[in-house]
Amino acid sequence: EEAGGRPPRVSMQEHMAIDVSPGPIRPIRLISHYFPHFYPFTEPALHPPDLHPAAVSTIHSAPQPQPNPEPERDSDDSTALGTLEFTLLFDADNSALHCTAHRAKGLKPLASGSVDTYVKANLLPGTSKASQLRTRTVRGTRVPVWEETLTYHGFTRQDAACKTLRLCVCEDPWLWRRRRAPPLGELQVPLRKLVPNRARSFDIYLEKRRLAKRPKSLDTARGMSLYEEEVETEVAWEKRGRVLLSLCYSSQRGGLLVGVLRCAHLAPMDASGYSDPFVRLFLHPNAGKKSKFKTSVRRKTLNPEFNEVSQDQAGPMAQKTLLVSVWDYDLGTADDFMGGVQLGSHASGERLRRWLECLGHSDHRLELWHPLDSKPVQLSD
């Protein structure tokens, strides 16, 4: 104390330093400490290595690509979207293409927090609805394993020479089921390099979705606007689809048995992007109910499977014509014509040769895919 018993004088700076000293600095608590996050996964988000996507096919047994040691950048173009492992098999004997989706690795973290994914396949060029197949949804992991085979029936050598298979890895968020989210990544594989009856495995990087080009010259029928084409050079492919028929001339019954097995890649005729197809058979000239046959209707599909056989078409077949037509069933209105095939003595080329082959080999069942014509055949009496 100073002389006279008065308290010592303290400057304002000294007062603040003594009374308001905060002491040791402690870390500020984050808001996440009060409101913890509940993620469906506990492991931290892993950023894939900075690799440029490349649509180069590699054999499944080949060594895995080494990560690029270059540090990753913020640009999405330099960040890999993950890889997809799958196997393709062109079964030329049965005219089928089998695509087995195995697994995906290194998928980019989803903005929605969803970890429910599936694989969607399309054949290009072609109708998006008719060639669209998908696997089941695998939930709760960013390393999904499907081990599911998607089969395209009616796939011929001509298709393998000009078509491309597009595979997309898509998310199926349970909170946004009514919203169409863009795919996580996609890839395209030209099918002309496939060796018939030999499986080939792939492990390819996913890429961003490509914008589709709409074809300029297509039929203006209902639903035909759903066609999409991503190949600059237009090829001769069936806009109307194709039908698988079985023919067998029975020597004991003296008649022809026609089986309608299935149709593939039909044109969508309804506003939903699908059709309700059925098949009609008519043997000309002939009289009676046995000359006509109609299958049942398959609802909301562009790849219907019928497996129905017509009644015996009795009588000599050398001078007769078999008319096959596919229709879209409409309730209360006229049915829509989807395509037709003419077999018999008035046909030409491959169809005539197959017809004569069937009649020349009695009791032998002949199965063959036939492309559908866009105009119905008109026959005179």
Question: For residue range 280-304, what is the model confidence (pLDDT) as tens digits?
Answer: 998 887 656 667 889 999 999 999 9
Q: Which residue type, as a one-letter code, is found at position 242?
A: R
Which residues make beta-bridge pairs with 118?
Answer: 170
Beta-bridge partner residues of 258: 247
Q: Give the list of residues 6+ apart from residue 284 with CB closer than 8 angstroms, or none.
A: 291, 320, 321, 322, 323, 379
- H helices within 146-197, ranges in order? 157-162
* pLDDT for the residue 189: 94
Is pLDDT larger for residue 360 or for residue 263? 263
- For the record, the structure tokens of 242 come out as 């194709």
* Token couple for 25: 């600095």
Structure token digits, residue 54 = 């490349």
Per-residue pLDDT, 314 = 63
Instruction: Give residue-wise pLDDT tens across range 158-205.
Output: 899 999 999 999 887 665 555 567 788 999 999 998 999 999 999 999
Which pLDDT score, from 0 to 100, does residue 359 have?
82
pLDDT at 97: 96
Q: Give the residue, 298 or 21, on which the prediction is more confident.
A: 298
Tokens of 145: 């394993």
pTM above 0.75, yes or no: no
Query: Mean pLDDT score of the chain, rounded to an integer?
Result: 75
Q: Is 20 left (phi over 0), alpha (psi -120 to 50) or beta?
A: alpha
